[in-house]
Amino acid sequence: MNTPITLLDKALALAEEEMTLLQGGDVDGAHLHAAQRIALTEQAWTLRTQAAPADPTDPARLTMLQEKLLQLQAMQHRLTAEARRLHASIKAELLRSRKEGARHAAYGRALRPATAGIPNSRFCSKRS
């Protein structure tokens, strides 16, 4: 049977893998790890009183749970910071791409007036 401590240890390991995936830019993989981490944390939370029915308020056990939860909280802050950094870099890349597209469009507009008097067809119209 999984205890809350082992479940939180697994959640911490998943959080480390999630950080590695985020740093590598694999947002989809990180999302899957985050969902698994949330499920493990919720399962640990529901098992916190069932794991030691003799004394669910044992101070040593509660201290260990608190330490694991604080580690998860710190890891969540690191994950959030990394996700924000990744978001900012993607935003900067999109902005750079948009500016480059506008620059290319400006080159296209600059060339159009020079060819405005030339008909689109390679054949001359007999009516003109």
pLDDT at 120: 61
For residues 92-99, average pLDDT = 94
Q: Which of 44-48, 65-69, 73-77 has the lowest mean pLDDT?
A: 44-48
CA-CA-CA-CA torsion sign (29, 82, 13, 72): negative
In terms of pLDDT, which residue wins out, 64 or 116? 64
